Structure 1
Amino acid sequence: MNPSLATPLAAPLHLLLAAMFAGVPITWLVTAFFCQKGDDYRQARARFLSLAGGIAAMIFSLGAILLLSLHGPTTLYAPGIFAEVFSVRIDAVSVAMTTLVSFVGLVVLRFSHSYLMGDARQADFLRFLMQTLAAVSVVVMAGNVILLVAGWISMSLSLHRLLVFYPDRPRAQLAAHKKFIIARGSDLALALAVGLMVAATGSTDIALIASAAQDSADVFSAAPALLLVLAALLKSAQFPTHGWIAEVMEAPTPVSALLHAGIVNAGGFLIIRFADVIASSGVALYALLLVGGMTALFGSLVMLTQRSVKGALAYSTVAQMGFMLLQCGLGAFSSAMLHIIAHSLYKAHAFLSSGSMVDVARGNGFPSKAAPVRPALILLSLFIAGGIFAIWSTVVGITIATKPAIVGLGAILVFGAMHLVIQSSRGQGSALVLFRASSTAAVVAGLYFTLQALAVLVFEGSVPEAGKLDAVQFALMMLMLGTFGAVTVLQWYLPSARSNARWQAFWVHLSNGFYVNQLFNQFIALPRVSGEANR
């Protein structure tokens, strides 16, 4: 054992906080065990126990933040012969993720109490939900690869029970079956990657595996990194295996919230946890860039055409997961961690409040007709957004020479700022409106750079620092930026062509995801059910 990776916990307070942190998944499992269906008393007891367990897990997670600030990163090992199997990694990544999982889990549990009130199987649902939360907690805090794989598989199997909670919904059953098949491919890829890494290093300890990758890039071949990428892509609903995440919407809303706010992020977490191994393989980084970027573009376009709130949120998740993996492909792992946290909090809120978002989603079908955007307005918005970006990047000291990945990701922010300025000023010549839109863009840009700097500071030492890009990465980044820019321009001009027959046909094909999901269903020989949606 490398002493630098496992500093002894001598102080009693440190030992107590570490034991509490390690007890997070145990808390979920113990409370789940006592949630049994039955009469009203048992149902009420299940609600009380689940809430108490969620609060306890949240407190234990917050205690780990104090431990990390007092002691620094370490690995907590089980005593004796169990040390090789049961260990907990305590660093910025595991503490942040465990706290996030505990918070989202507590919110989803509380929502489930009212959502399933009166359902005879509410206690069963709460039990399955807490078992899933326990498995997710094991994955994000595991200190060795054996425990991580066990948690990874358990997480998928526990989620499956939630997805098929209503057995009388054939489309939900079919979607869950499809997800089950894809998840087994992810499990196999991860198991093979783990086997290769253990064989190369002779250790099952995640910190030691990362240290070996840091010491020498020749320790691993490209195979384990590519297998890790494959496991992450399959878990994160990436193109072309994305269809299941839009088809599981018949599961209870709390399941959708947990899935989109937590479990689907597991792929990104896997890449971040083994970032040193991934960074040692250029091919793995290129694969993340290509697939993640393509999925981000695809999901963003299809999202715009969805008629239902949940459908739009599902393809939003597909796009966001693609963008997160694109960040990993650029080596911006701290940015990807920030993305996971922000996306989880937003998506949990979005799903749990989806019933009140109907008014936001009015306008479905074809986009409303609008006048074409004047070229002068495009140039003005580019000048404003580019100026804001240049000012903030100078303030925080980020340049394309030192942080090309952060600058590249920030360029996408420029497109967003341009879109905000144009949409606010479209059809209006008011200088006040333009000023408000520009001010909002400036605040958003400032928040972006501030959070990026904070993420680098918080996760320093836990993930590799974003450095220079090689020629292939830089070329792929520029290709992605050009494509994102083209899509942004497309959003401005296509609504004005609403009456064009070709545009209407394109809109229909796009709303069905160009039928990629149907082709994938045929590839895995998945049967159809009556009334199955094209999407």
Structure 2
Amino acid sequence: MDLTLGGHYVAALYGLGFLLCLVARSYEWAIAGLTSRLALFVSLVVPLGSGLLTATLPPVLPTMMGLLITLLGWVIIDYASRYLEGDPGQRRFIRAILFTLGLVALLVKSDNLLVMMLAWSVSSLSLHFLLTHYRERKAARIVAHKKFLVSRMADVCLITALFLVYQALGSFSLPVLNQQLGQMTILSPELNIAALLFAVAAILKTAQLPLHGWLIQVMEAPTPVSALLHAGVVNMGGFVMISLAALLNLAPLAQSVLVIVGSTTALLAGWVMMTRISIKVRLAWSTCAQMGFMLMEIGLGLYELALLHLIAHSVYKAYHFLSAGEVVAQTIHQDYFPPAVRIHGVFGSVLCSAVVVLGVPMLWQQWLVNLSLPLSASVILILGCAPLFWRATNAVRSGLVTGVLRSGVVLHLYLLWHSTFAHIAPSTGPEQVGLLGFVCVVFILLYLGQVGIRCYPHYRVVKRLYPWAYNGFYLDETFTRFTFKVWPAKLTLEQAQTQVNRNHSTAGESV
């Protein structure tokens, strides 16, 4: 039995559920729920069964991604069945989400580059119906229109890249491509261009600046759609880039583009996120920043870190979007951070974090000789763990002890997952000193911005930066004006009448 059959079974189950919902006039939620449970069961059982029959282990990466997708699909469909109760568009929602899940399952399980790219492109089309679930809302139509334009730009890049790959290597099979690329030391011009186009497509589909506005503004869609988008679909850009690691390792230009665009997006979106109050908007900016971090890690060749990032981000975002309605109730039981208290040791925290991050692996190397961290991963961990040493009081000793314990736990968890994912993801790519220096500068700026916005909001520099950060540095407005001049969105008569009624209602309230 083919080891990839589990993925085809899962995609076929979602497709069967979609077809049944097309002809069924009732019991759609029962069909969707049964489909999601069967898909989860198959993703767990079929890889084991096929591995026993062939006496070989199934590919761990596709198996893990398939399990993640089916788990998210089960949870989101179960949540949506209650969330959309009484909604007139339930039937359309069920069909679209089953179709989308089937395409994503096919993408993560396929070993054919052409099939992966087709599933990736068509999934964006099916997602369009989910984003426009409330068709009468003008904002939803505009956001979906912007998403449609960006996705079609990415599709042009993918089609051109596929043509160049087939012309140069004569195959779309990933095992064959990886075998041929493994024998190369320098890429041909066609493959260099193809790698760059794949990177640009991933940048477009993961909502990197300045083409990020659609991801931030999809809050008009139902919460289950936001959970599916932020936890599943938008992460597929990272998975595709990890699958193309053999190509990217030989393409310095594509790596540089991923690192520069990804880290810049992470920096700016991270600053913007800290200025927002709305929980869903804050989560959306967080997704934009996290996708930037993921692409940056891939550009640096840290594929095991990017894979860990992808899975952790998917679970984290699914939980937080589906529990967003409980945030207000949770906040009531929490004390707000006293605005008059300054956090001490924000710069000494970096030194303390460096001691822990560099010292712990050195201690473990006495027993685990092969344990090591790439320099780029160490830099990321040092600045990432530094806020754990922040203190809100003058109790230096207690703050230091707490910081050491927190950072130690985080570091050990990372070392554990790093060792695990190193056997699943492609091997670490070549390290480029120039890109690493650029990333260090970006992380320092991100850390300084976090310190300024949170600890010194009344400083002149922070006051000047804050309005720009709050408005997303006005990047989306520029892109929106340009795109709507090239291809404006058209409202239907019903939508136009709805907008007129809203304007009249607003005018009446003001009078």
TM-score by length of 1: 0.83
Counterpart in 2 of 1:77? none
Secondary structure of 1:114's aligned partner:
helix
Kept in 2, the 8 Å contact 1:101–1:133? The answer is yes
Gaps of 5+ in 1: 1-8, 10-14, 75-89
Counterpart in 2 of 1:307? 277
Q: Which runs of 4+ in 1 moved over 6 A?
A: 402-405, 528-532
Select 2:395's aligned residue among 429, 439, 457. Answer: 429
Alpha-carbon shift at residue 416 of structure 1 (Å):
2.6
Check if 1:167 corresponds to 2:126: no
Closer, same or farther: CA 480–259 of 1 in aligned 2, 3 Å: same
1: CA distance, partners of 2:175 / 2:140: 39
Check if 1:133 corresponds to 2:101: yes
Kept in 2, the 8 Å contact 1:38–1:120? The answer is no
Check if 1:391 corresponds to 2:350: no
Counterpart in 1 of 2:410? 444
2: CA distance, partners of 1:520 / 1:158: 24
Q: How does 1:115-514 map to 2 (within 5 A)?
A: 115-218=83-186, 220-221=188-189, 222-358=192-328, 369-374=339-344, 377-378=345-346, 380-395=348-363, 397=365, 406-422=374-390, 425-429=391-395, 431-459=397-425, 463=426, 465-469=427-431, 473-500=432-459, 503-514=462-473
Secondary structure of 1:152's aligned partner:
helix
For residues 395-419 of structure 1, the C-alpha deviation after alignment (integer angstroms, 9 at most, x for no partner) is 5559xxx999733223222223221
Counterpart in 1 of 2:34? 52
Closer, same or farther: CA 403–159 of 1 in aligned 2, 3 Å: farther
Closer, same or farther: CA 511–209 of 1 in aligned 2, 3 Å: same
| CA-based RMSD | 2.8
Stretch deviating more after TM superposition (413-422 or 249-258): 413-422
Alpha-carbon shift at residue 219 of structure 1 (Å):
5.1
2: CA distance, partners of 1:123 / 1:179: 23
Secondary structure of 2:484's aligned partner:
coil
Kept in 2, the 8 Å contact 1:213–1:277? The answer is yes
Closer, same or farther: CA 174–239 of 1 in aligned 2, 3 Å: same
TM-score by length of 2: 0.87
Closer, same or farther: CA 200–72 of 1 in aligned 2, 3 Å: farther
Amino acid at match of 1:130: L
Alpha-carbon shift at residue 372 of structure 1 (Å):
5.0
1: CA distance, partners of 2:49 / 2:430: 33
Counterpart in 1 of 2:14? 28
1: CA distance, partners of 2:443 / 2:331: 24
Alpha-carbon shift at residue 487 of structure 1 (Å):
2.6
Alpha-carbon shift at residue 475 of structure 1 (Å):
2.0
Amino acid at match of 1:123: R
2: CA distance, partners of 1:357 / 1:490: 26
Stretch deviating more after TM superposition (19-28 or 259-268): 19-28
Closer, same or farther: CA 302–37 of 1 in aligned 2, 3 Å: farther
Stretch deviating more after TM superposition (300-309 or 27-36): 27-36
Kept in 1, the 8 Å contact 2:266–2:292? The answer is yes
1: CA distance, partners of 2:55 / 2:200: 32
For residues 367-392 of structure 1, the C-alpha deviation after alignment (integer angstroms, 9 at most, x for no partner) is 97445555xx3464234312211233
Counterpart in 1 of 2:506? none
1: CA distance, partners of 2:394 / 2:55: 54
Closer, same or farther: CA 447–72 of 1 in aligned 2, 3 Å: farther
Matched positions, count: 482
Stretch deviating more after TM superposition (331-340 or 159-168): 331-340
Kept in 1, the 8 Å contact 2:259–2:295? The answer is yes
**Identity across the alignment (%):** 31
Closer, same or farther: CA 98–483 of 1 in aligned 2, 3 Å: same
Stretch deviating more after TM superposition (147-156 or 248-257): 147-156
Closer, same or farther: CA 358–501 of 1 in aligned 2, 3 Å: farther
Kept in 2, the 8 Å contact 1:334–1:456? The answer is yes
Stretch deviating more after TM superposition (191-200 or 504-513): 504-513
Closer, same or farther: CA 62–245 of 1 in aligned 2, 3 Å: same
Secondary structure of 2:235's aligned partner:
helix
Gaps of 5+ in 2: 492-498, 504-511
Kept in 2, the 8 Å contact 1:220–1:277? The answer is no
Select 1:515's aligned residue among 457, 460, 474. Answer: 474
Stretch deviating more after TM superposition (308-317 or 197-206): 197-206
